[in-house]
Amino acid sequence: MMNWIETKNNEPINLNEIPCLNIVDLRKEILEIKKRVVGFFGQPFGAGVKLFVIMADDEQGKLFVSSAYFNENEKSYDSITKDIPAFHMFEREFFEEFKIKPLKHPWLKPVRNHKKEYPFFEIQGEEIHQVGVGPIHAGVIEPGHFRFMCNGEKVYDLEIRLGYQHRGVEDLFLQNPTNQLAESVCGDSVIAYNLAYSKAMEALLNIEVSNKAQLIRLIALEMERVAIHIGDLGAIAGDTAYQMGNAIFGATRTLVINSLLEISGSRFGRGLIKVGGVNFDIDEKLAQNILKTLEKVGADVKRTTTTMLKSATVISRLERTGVVSYESAKALGLVGMAGRASGVELDSRFDFPDKWFMDKDDKKFKATGDVYSRTRLRYKEIMQSLSLIRKFMRMLPEYKNEPLLVPVNNGLYGEKFVVSIVEGWRGEVIHTAITDNNGRLSRYKIKDPSFNNWYGLAMAVRNNGISDFPLCNKSFNLSYCGNDL
């Protein structure tokens, strides 16, 4: 382990302690360490580029960091993707940003850049036809282009092109890092993003947030999960034209986000979390109200899901549709909910726990990797989150007298490197922050779970009917803006 530095979630390390190798050695190390890649990004360094690699050991809750330096003349290296496919998006991204080419990369195409021609994969033949959808869609959907290669109703291949929402978010963090910016990166994961950002900053400021604030944050995070999962169950029902589910889940979701509104004044929890703590308290009366509402939510979700998943017409749409096998999911590096639905047991709440998450739910989930599996997993996670919220709410009075906000007196520590992982509803939201010697951010890297999972969707659609694509898409519900940054 000479060539790696070990760290933990939210544990800052000194920048100069990160081993710096050449790329050939680093590549060898990556293949040898046999861990999961969670970060692979560059930073301009002198005349060249420094490449940071973060590998996660999910069983031990450890992170391993290393780096490699490319001088200005080194413009290529031997691709890692051909040995570990999970690297493929990371290497494409690195190539796009720094023009350092991974040689023999099997799928080296633009990630976000639209100035370059995008070479779509094509199948040729008399009976093959292409269907292009987007980037402008019907309904309220983010922009993305989907290119299907079909034979009649059957999809042979789907290629997804994104990047239409690229706003340069990571650079904005260097100019003016604020909680508001963190909240605006991905609108359906406001809490998760803000939490990851705040935790990273707190680690760099070396401040400890009060227990009370930590609990309120976790309650909000779980409420976000519950709200979005319920909304997605409604959307899945909507796409199968099962109107009962659509209507009831829609109404139930409103109850949850209205509870967030009562806490923070925003239905999506904007303005709740701040570096140093939280802006709003949950007093006993509010806690009682929310618990009562959530009890009703739990009962409604349980009843509706049970009815829906008993309906033969619904089941026939969900089962064996959009299957991602465990092997594919593992190889592609799927994370979060979509990964768990295929049997990849990753949940950073438990894998990289803070002191509040001790007991992992040991009830085994039968993962089948299809839309049905992703639907049932959502239901299971809603129930799990509701019980977590109850648990945290009960712990709140114990810390009644603690402050909401810890004052921030000093600036960020200089020359530090910190990784902050938060399990949003979609999966691990990973923010990595690096500071320069003046205590300013010199690099801010965000990885949304969608970055790993988009390819999983492309995989799921293969050999399915093209009319089932919207259903597969909803069952993943990936983020465009989180991917495009």
Partner 1 sequence: MIITAIINLIILLFAPFLVLGVIKKTKAFWAGRKGVSLFQPWWDFVKLMKKDAVVSNTTTWIFKFTPILIFATTLFAGLFVPMLGGSSVINMQGGFILFAYLLGLGKFFALLSAMDTGSSFEGMGASREACFTTIVEPAFFIIMASLIALSGNYTFESLFLILESAGGLGILIMILAVLALVVMLLTECCRVPVDDPTTHLELTMIHEVMILDNSGQDLGLITWAAGIKMVILESLIAALLIPTHLLGFGYSALAYVVALFVIAVFVGTLESAIARLRMSHVFEFIFAMSSFALITLSLTAIKLYGN
- Contact residues toward partner 1 (CB under 8 A) are 129-133, 138-139, 152-153, 237, 239-244, 246-248, 251, 311, 313-314, 316-317, 321, 465-470
Identify which of residues 25 and 153 has a Cβ nearer to partner 1 in the complex.
153
Count of CB atoms situated within 10 Å of the CB of 306: 10
Residue with the two structure tokens 């790696």? 4
Nearest to partner 1 of 215, 461 (CB atom): 461
Residue 280 to residue 482: CA distance in whole angstroms: 26
**Least distance in Å: CB of 459 to partner 1?**
18
Q: What is the DSSP string of 16-28?
A: GGS-EE-HHHHHH
Nearer to partner 1, 131 or 299 (CB): 131
Distance between CA 286 and CA 203 in Å, rounded? 30
| CB 132, min distance to partner 1, A | 7
Cα three-residue angle 144-253-447, rounded to 5 degrees: 40
Shortest approach of partner 1 to residue 258 CB, angstroms? 17
Query: Is 239 or 484 the residue whose CB approaches partner 1 more closely?
Result: 239
Side chain identity, residue 37: V
Return the number of the residue (18 or 158) whose C-beta is nearest partner 1. Answer: 158
CB of 318 to partner 1, least distance (A): 9
What CA–CA distance (Å, rounded) separates 256 from 234?
A: 14
108 vs 466 by CB, closer to partner 1: 466
Query: Which is nearer to partner 1, 149 or 191 (by Cβ)?
Result: 149
Nearer to partner 1, 244 or 331 (CB): 244
Distance of closest approach, residue 319 Cβ to partner 1, in angstroms: 10
Min dist CB 468 to partner 1, Å, is 7
Give the tokens for residue 293: 């509402």
Q: How far is CA 376 from the centre of its chain?
A: 19
Nearest to 29 by CA among 7, 9, 51: 51
Q: Which sign, positive or negative, has the C-alpha torsion 291, 292, 297, 298?
A: positive
Separation between Cα atoms, residue 135 and residue 146, nearest integer Å: 8
Query: What contacts 69, CB < 8 A, 6 or more positions away?
Result: 20, 22, 45, 48, 49, 50, 51
Closest distance to partner 1 from the beta carbon of 142 (Å): 14
Least Å distance, CB 180 to partner 1, is: 32
Q: What is the dihedral of CA 112, 117, 120, 126, to 10 degrees?
A: 160
The whole-angstrom separation of Cα 324 and Cα 329 is 6
